[in-house]
Structure 1
Amino acid sequence: MSLDTAVATQGKAAAAYAQLKREIEHGILAPGATLPETDLVARTGASRTPVREAIRRLAAEGLIVLEPRRAPMVSRVSIAGARALFEFRRLIEPAAAAAVARSLVTDRAGRASAFRGLRERLAQLHTSQLSAAFETQFGELTSEFDDLLVAATPNEHLARSIRELRPHTRRLRLIAHADTDRLHDSLREHIEMCDALVGGDEQRAASAITLHLVHVEQAIFHRLWDSEPGSLSAVELS
């Protein structure tokens, strides 16, 4: 294989990986869905070699399950795994929030201004009525908060740990956001987190993000257990 061919293959693999990862995160490729290679080739427009490389990367991240003589499958949502994920998030994200609040006291990178601007847009949305547009903007603003928090986290190990969890937290967020009655409450929680961060209050920031995570976890499990039995087909109950 020539160098040019290898580079082109790597580029196609990266594009296929990014597409499939995005579709898994947003539920377009649902938990438990089988992914025959021929379908993935047609779906991504890439050849078999780049598709196989993309699948290997996604399997290494726990988003796809590979078993001998079976088509790749989007990993199911595990209740035990979700609990473990939130347990870990409650350890690292409050620590990150406290570190960000501390760093914003002597902010030289304009991070505080970004959080203030986001806070105003969250507050404006909070006064709006629930609608499809509301839900879309809600998802965009809360994702922006997550991105800002990671970007502002001064400890690179904390930031990387949070970033690597994002594909899994996004999949669980789809379940939490199905409870539309909680979206306005979640906005209030994000506003509180922004206020604590910009105010440089480490303890308040850590407490605010801990409370938010507790509420998100509760919403997810209430949604799962209150669902019709057939709707849990893509959820592992152990």
Structure 2
Amino acid sequence: MDQVRRPRGRPRKPALLGPVTGSGRLSLHEQAVRRLRAMIVEGALPAGAPLVETELSEALGVSRTPLREAVKLLAMEGLVELRPNRSPRIAALDPEAVRALFEALAWIERAGAELAAQRMGRDDLDRLQALQAAIEAHHRNGEIAPYFAANHATHALIVACAGNPPLREAHEALHARAEIARRRALDSHGRWSESVAEHRAILAALVARDGPRAGLLLAEHVSHTGAALLAALSRSDAA
């Protein structure tokens, strides 16, 4: 796979997002959190980029108060770095933090797959098979954005099918940081194809109701992604 080019430097009033509105069930700051999180995960706000209040407030159509609340919540998630007397900025990917993140994810998702293999229903398996078909199609067509949506849905569904709310909550808490890392890892040559093949094997183990194998394969899959990202970070540091 060719490397996916990411925008660098300070964001320029991101026009890809419409203004936040007061309609719906979410408050303004909750909507702002979702929009900003998506921009960070998708690379529109790259690592190290400062968050300029005036530009983001205008782009999102919100005042500074809900924007500041959103930034604080994203800082708690590890996506934003707060700096005294300076603008917040998008947190960089630290190798030690990446190693710890994927170590935690590997164990969480391994437990999720082992439980899901025994607890998921026929409808759940049908949904996983449909997601795998989508993953395969997006990979063939080089469609990176919809691929990531299907990839995330697959990981989330497996853990959800474990039927263990605390496990699911722990997984969701790490989601945004993991998605940034997964996208960066798939920039590595060949990792995308490997990832698709690994998903295929995980699905086969779940269909066979082989919990130990499904858990092992999913843990290895997560670990391989972490290793690919660490290698990419190492190359960037050496450049």
**What's the TM-score once normalised by structure 2's chain length?**
0.82
2:52 is the alignment partner of 1:43: no
CA-to-aligned-CA distance 1:21-51 (integer Å, 9 cap, x gap): 1111111111111112212212211011111
Match among 126, 149, 165 for residue 113 of structure 1? 126
Distance 1:212 1:19 in 2: 29
Q: Structure 1 residues 76 and 115, CA, compared in 2 at 3 Å: closer, same or farther? A: same
Match among 209, 212, 236 for residue 227 of structure 1? 236
Identity, % of aligned positions: 29
One-letter amino acid of the structure 2 residue matched with residue 89 of structure 1: L
Distance 1:204 1:218 in 2: 21
Match among 99, 106, 111 for residue 115 of structure 2? 99
CA-to-aligned-CA distance 1:53-106 (integer Å, 9 cap, x gap): 1111111212111122111111111111001111111221101110100113xx
The answer as to whether partners of 2:106 and 2:222 remain within 8 angstroms in 1 is: yes
Distance 1:38 1:121 in 2: 39
Residue 140 of structure 1 corresponds to: 149
Q: Any gaps of 5 or more consecutive residues in structure 2?
A: 1-21
Map 1:159-178 to 2 at 5 A. Answer: 159-178=168-187
2:93 is the alignment partner of 1:77: yes
Q: Which structure is higher in helix share?
A: 1
CA-to-aligned-CA distance 1:112-152 (integer Å, 9 cap, x gap): 221222334445566x3xx543x344323312212322332
Which structure is higher in RCO with an 8 Å CA cutoff and minimum separation 6?
A: 1
Aligned-pair RMSD on alpha carbons? 2.3
The answer as to whether partners of 1:12 and 1:46 remain within 8 angstroms in 2 is: yes
2:213 is the alignment partner of 1:204: yes
Residue 162 of structure 2 corresponds to: 153
Report which of the two structures shows the higher radius of gyration computed on alpha carbons: 1
Q: Any gaps of 5 or more consecutive residues in structure 1?
A: 1-5, 231-238
Q: Structure 1 residues 122 and 26, CA, compared in 2 at 3 Å: closer, same or farther? A: closer
The answer as to whether partners of 1:115 and 1:198 remain within 8 angstroms in 2 is: no
Q: Structure 1 residues 11 and 180, CA, compared in 2 at 3 Å: closer, same or farther? A: same
Residue 233 of structure 1 corresponds to: none
**What's the TM-score once normalised by structure 1's chain length?**
0.83
Residue 30 of structure 1 corresponds to: 46
Residue 185 of structure 1 corresponds to: 194
